[in-house]
Amino acid sequence: MPCDNHGILIISLDFELHWGMRDHLSVDGFRGRGLETRAAIPRILDLFQEYGIHATWAAVGFLFFDNREDLLEDIPDKLPNYVRSRLSAYSELLSLGRDEEEDPCRFAASLIRRISSTPHQEIGSHTFSHYLCREKGQGIEDFEVDLKAAKKAAQRHQLELKSFVFPRNQVNPEFLPLLSEQGYLCYRGNSRLPSAEKIEDPVQTLWPRLLRLADSYVGFLGFNTYPMKQIVPGPLVNIPASRFLRPYSASLKWLEPLKIGKIRSSLTRAARKGEIFHLWWHPHNFGRHTDENLRNLEKILRHFQKLNRDYQMTSCNMGELASRLEEPKT
Ligand SMILES: [Zn+2]
């Protein structure tokens, strides 16, 4: 286990395929990107292996199933009652294909097996149904039902879920005690960067979005690394995100070196100061311009490797970091 005064790189990925993209694209509209994403995942795992990366893959529960029959068997009795009912993933149940081969963007049991059998990769939860924790109409009882369904889906793979990522980063503080009751050790909190999700009004969300977009390239909002002591030990540990790895942009191609440079300098700072840098993205962000995105990732990981040599910086997944905080108690 890493020493307290060495920097730590945390990587978490929100693994959702079409379940997180439903209100942007139809399943057919997502298919090309979904297939590319599926092909990119083993390549991401290869890079993680090559560079000794321990990562958390927070997966939507529906993806754990091999086929429709099994999923339908495990659908809870109580479903979320969103005011905007189209946001419910359950509205898609009737259109599901038979199995992963027929519907590769909504089932992914083989990928769950592939990821969980790769050393140092943790499967975490992104809820059962890509549950939106601050959406109007839903409530804590619905959330509890969703959590239990996610746990049951993971048991199909003999997995125990310890790390949690809120869909759309809609962290709901009232739900945190329930997470720890259900056996979770940690969740990913939001970064200090302005967040559009915290604001209801669509006009007002524009500024945080623009600010974050600009910051990805210029980095005027700071490094966003933090010391270990800022993580408060407790039944449920918050491991805040530092930065979103924005996907490669063909139109802003000339700014890509700036974006990667910003991440590398944040990593250097974390390594020098013995702090944490928590990078996150979705595998489907690599479902377009896959080669360019993987090249960018490799540049980041190569830099991490250098920092590992020079400063003994280490890589931890969320569950490992949270268990480490538990250690003094045992
Ligand atoms: Zn999501």
| pTM score of the predicted model | 0.92
Per-residue pLDDT of the chain (330 residues; tens, 9 = 90+): 444 689 999 999 999 999 999 988 999 999 999 999 999 999 999 999 999 999 999 999 999 999 999 999 999 999 999 999 999 999 999 999 999 999 999 999 999 999 999 999 999 999 999 999 999 999 999 999 999 999 999 999 999 999 999 999 999 999 999 999 999 999 999 886 554 444 445 455 666 666 776 666 666 667 789 998 888 888 899 999 999 999 999 888 888 999 999 999 999 999 999 999 999 999 999 999 999 999 999 999 999 999 999 999 999 999 999 998 875 544
Gap from CA of 188 to ligand 1 centroid (Å): 12
Gap from CA of 309 to ligand 1 centroid (Å): 34
Residues surrounding ion ligand 1 at CB below 5 Å: 14, 16, 20, 167
Tokens read off for 262:
């910003």
Gap from CA of 272 to ligand 1 centroid (Å): 32
DSSP state of 246: P
Q: Cα 245–251–257 angle (5° rounding)?
A: 50
Gap from CA of 52 to ligand 1 centroid (Å): 26
Gap from CA of 209 to ligand 1 centroid (Å): 17
Domains and CATH numbers, the chain: 10-191+230-245+276-289+315-329 (3.20.20.370)
Q: Could you tell me if 60 and 15 are in contact, meaning their C-beta atoms sit under 8 angstroms apart?
A: yes
Gap from CA of 167 to ligand 1 centroid (Å): 4
Gap from CA of 156 to ligand 1 centroid (Å): 22
Give the Cα separation of 183 and 319 in Å (integer). 12
Cα–Cα distances in angstroms (integers) from residue 226 to residues 176, 241, 243, 281, 325, in the given order: 22, 10, 12, 19, 15
DSSP state of 87: G
